[in-house]
Structure 1
């Protein structure tokens, strides 16, 4: 197996970042941490977010729900089979590329359950009706709301760092068009990775992503020189990364960085070695579908012209879905250069 290093990401303390004094004024510690957040994301597009509003006990509980869900027979899970949302993005319900892709032999080695805002009555989420699924629903809905608040705070911090009011970007996420993916990467043999990955190289489409992993490793992020480095799990931390549209708002200063999920670094060179299953929980923050995304005026000048044309958030998501998961084209960076050929996946949630 090729040797990869570990990425040295900044650890941002969310509680410090969000802190205020008795007069609801930002504390010096908060201002310092907000500046550290901006610098970290400017450098790599990724950071660890320590002690967000979601504690480890909550994550452990959610992993318990998802493990029970994925342990159900395929014929049970397939009752809520998801379909790609035209104009919205990933599918609600259950998806399994290894079983459902046009060519399962090259699909991602994963399955997932996805949900949007649960109060959306026009495009309702899909749920099984057993008691365990009802408990899973209740706790995922609470998790969704907590993550939304975290996204608002992070957007405030980023806006303030470029001289904008803290709520400047809040209206663009008011519709809560976010997406949760409960991901399971089943146990397999080492040789299964010869032509496949657990999640092929990609950037995230939207606003900001919060990723919670179990103890099994495998997440890799592309460095500036085009190589990959592992991003290990750290207790009480989420992995935070910038999505395509936030990168556009910030005129490319905050990069939307390519990442993937592969076999863990400790894998034996024996092709018959057992690779244990892996679970992760991803909250993909998204802007309202109708949001017109263009570089912020504060970041555009004669010496630093706009690097992106305006685009509706929903149109960008549709284009990415068509490119990566319908047409099966190669993933391209914002510059247009090809990063890596994509397997024939039928879903877009990967982390």
Structure 2
């Protein structure tokens, strides 16, 4: 096996994973003691922006089945994957190859390939009839029996968990548990399957699996395989390894949650460097608000006499603008007019 070395600034400091809190959310999911869980979520959101959740209610077998489907999809020939290339979709759904996305514009493009899937909406859906961007049908692989069924079951489980977490975050902010409900009942939610080839030799910061970035929307639920590679930047500027912990998901907050809370909750930079020597697979589920949800400072988040830190934005257009900035095919389409 080739020897792999990292430039000094790419080494994730190995620390006890308690620095990224591990929270039992069972009492939130089943409704038995949501306030206690909410307080823990609020502390993690304000101090770290990342956390692990256990007792989340998602069956281990379903997660394993979805991970197996991700591996099966990426094992296909490039020709089969390119048949559903994301540039064939008007709503940012489908496959993207290595170096298509660039999450950190100061670096070269990301060494990863992926498949983006969202709420699968038909032509009779009201939002599709309105012509809302990012709303419509998925591009499904043609020759993978069972792939769609497993994906839709996993997507539904992720959405249910995300809704429970949003109730917890509402309570943590001193709001009614259903405060976010009418802002996330038609979410711009997406499941992304990712494959990171191993990086070998001496790795410099110019090229990595996924460059440093914050997520664009509200919250992310990440399932990662056993190979590690995720790193999180703390407030001191140190990169901290976020290793996989059996039975948990990694949760992190995105830009829109930071804007909603006037910076009280953190959207924390993170990156991926796969030095395991093996193929790495992960499955982030991005739970972002309704297209027309207004993202502005929530009640109680702006100190008296101060102005909000962020200007109000609409959730959907903000999300689309970030895709325009980071995906090569969208830049090509914009340039072509």
In the TM superposition, residue 187 of structure 1 has moved relative to its aligned partner by: 3.2
Question: 2:208–2:273: 8 Å Cα contact kept in structure 1?
Answer: yes
Question: 2:101–2:327: 8 Å Cα contact kept in structure 1?
Answer: no
CA distance, structure 2, for counterparts of residue 85 and residue 190 of structure 1: 36
In the TM superposition, residue 56 of structure 1 has moved relative to its aligned partner by: 2.3
Which residue is 1:77 aligned to? 81
From 155, 159, 166, the equivalent of 2:177 is: 166
CA distance, structure 1, for counterparts of residue 298 and residue 291 of structure 2: 18
| Structure 1 residues 287 and 191: alpha-carbon distance in aligned structure 2, compared to 1, 3 A threshold | same
In the TM superposition, residue 192 of structure 1 has moved relative to its aligned partner by: 5.7
| Structure 1 residues 250 and 72: alpha-carbon distance in aligned structure 2, compared to 1, 3 A threshold | same
1:210-249, aligned counterparts within 5 Å?
210-249=221-260
Q: Is 1:95 equivalent to 2:105 in the alignment? A: no
Runs of 4+ in 1 over 4 A off after TM superposition: none
TM-score by length of 2: 0.83
CA distance, structure 2, for counterparts of residue 58 and residue 311 of structure 1: 36
From 112, 130, 135, the equivalent of 1:110 is: 112
Q: Is 1:207 equivalent to 2:208 in the alignment? A: no
Q: Is 1:50 equivalent to 2:50 in the alignment? A: no
In the TM superposition, residue 188 of structure 1 has moved relative to its aligned partner by: 4.2
Which residue is 1:147 aligned to? 158
CA distance, structure 2, for counterparts of residue 258 and residue 314 of structure 1: 21
Q: Is 1:187 equivalent to 2:195 in the alignment? A: no
| Structure 1 residues 215 and 100: alpha-carbon distance in aligned structure 2, compared to 1, 3 A threshold | closer
| Structure 1 residues 49 and 84: alpha-carbon distance in aligned structure 2, compared to 1, 3 A threshold | farther
In the TM superposition, residue 109 of structure 1 has moved relative to its aligned partner by: 1.1
In the TM superposition, residue 75 of structure 1 has moved relative to its aligned partner by: 0.6
Which residue is 1:292 aligned to? 294
1:251-262, aligned counterparts within 5 Å?
251-262=262-273
In the TM superposition, residue 97 of structure 1 has moved relative to its aligned partner by: 2.9
CA distance, structure 2, for counterparts of residue 254 and residue 231 of structure 1: 19
From 141, 146, 153, the equivalent of 1:128 is: 141
Question: 1:208–1:241: 8 Å Cα contact kept in structure 2?
Answer: yes
TM-score by length of 1: 0.80
Corresponding pairs, count: 307
Question: 2:81–2:95: 8 Å Cα contact kept in structure 1?
Answer: yes
Question: 1:148–1:176: 8 Å Cα contact kept in structure 2?
Answer: no
From 7, 11, 14, the equivalent of 2:25 is: 14
From 4, 25, 49, the equivalent of 2:12 is: 4
Larger deviation, residues 307-316 vs 295-304: 295-304
| Structure 1 residues 84 and 259: alpha-carbon distance in aligned structure 2, compared to 1, 3 A threshold | farther
CA distance, structure 1, for counterparts of residue 178 and residue 138 of structure 2: 29
Which residue is 2:67 aligned to? 63
Q: Deviations over 1:242-281 (max 9, x none)?
A: 01111111111001111110134xx6xxxxxxx2110001
| Structure 1 residues 66 and 299: alpha-carbon distance in aligned structure 2, compared to 1, 3 A threshold | same
SS class of match (2:268) = coil
Q: Deviations over 1:82-104 (max 9, x none)?
A: 13977x6xx31111134799xxx
In the TM superposition, residue 305 of structure 1 has moved relative to its aligned partner by: 3.6
Q: Is 1:320 equivalent to 2:322 in the alignment? A: yes
| Structure 1 residues 74 and 9: alpha-carbon distance in aligned structure 2, compared to 1, 3 A threshold | same
Q: Deviations over 1:10-67 (max 9, x none)?
A: 11112122333xxxxx43xx32222011101111100001122323221111111111
| Structure 1 residues 69 and 78: alpha-carbon distance in aligned structure 2, compared to 1, 3 A threshold | same
SS class of match (1:200) = strand
| Structure 1 residues 16 and 84: alpha-carbon distance in aligned structure 2, compared to 1, 3 A threshold | farther
Q: Which runs of 5+ in 1 are unaligned?
A: 21-25, 268-274, 329-343, 347-351
From 250, 275, 278, the equivalent of 1:276 is: 278
